[in-house]
Amino acid sequence: MDTKLSEMASEETVKKSRSGRKSRRRRRNTRMDNDEYTETIREAKKLKEKFSSRRRVKDDDMAFLKIGASENGAPKIQNSESHNNLLKRAEEAQINRTFQIELRADALQTLWMCALCHQRSAQDELGDLFGPYYVNIRCEGHWPNFLLKKSLKLTKGETYCIDVWFHGDCLLWSPDIQMKGNQFTHLEEKLHQFWKQVNYEFLLLNRT
């Protein structure tokens, strides 16, 4: 009798231990399932935010017609903020390129005088000098001797690049020279013609 009772008690203990192990496994599996579900939800939210932000940016790039936006009540096309910012950055970049000074290491430096009127900066009402602009000269060509320092020796037959400076009024009033961006059209050609004409008039004046 005692033996049967002990066997029954041991069987109950084994059943309880097995049931406890199963419950632990179920709890552990349930916890793993919850973690996987949470991770899946988190990834789904990330994907949703990613594609919704792309769609929102795409929608913001579209222009739309706004009725009654102007003072007279006429319809007005209003661009997106990103489009306006892009235009603003492009304009600022163009302005920076226009006023950016381009220095060339291979150019010979001239005296800081106007290449047209031969006067220095702030002379009378002429204002400041603008430049540098670059033109090519030859030793045997017509160009004012005051531009280059006397210590420089130029070889005949060689072409040299020099920097030149101008008063704003002197250059803008010169015939056939127009400003395009930060460059002047036909500057080198017209400048050589001007120097040649000035030298010829100077020779005629000395002869008379």
Q: In sequence order, which residues have a C-beta less than 8 Å from that of residue 177 and are 6 or more positions away?
A: 171, 184, 185, 186, 187, 190
pTM above 0.85, yes or no: no
Q: If residue 136 lies in a helix (H) or strand (E), which one and from where to where? A: strand 129-138
Q: If residue 162 lies in a helix (H) or strand (E), which one and from where to where? A: strand 159-167
Cα distances from 137 to residues 87, 91, 119, 152, in angstroms, run 41, 35, 20, 14
Q: If residue 194 lies in a helix (H) or strand (E), which one and from where to where? A: helix 187-207
Written as tens digits, the pLDDT of the chain (208 aa) is: 555 545 555 565 555 555 555 555 555 566 666 777 788 888 888 877 776 655 555 555 565 556 655 566 677 777 777 777 887 887 777 666 655 666 788 888 888 889 888 888 887 788 888 888 899 988 776 777 777 765 677 788 888 898 999 988 888 888 888 888 777 888 999 888 888 886 544 444 443 4
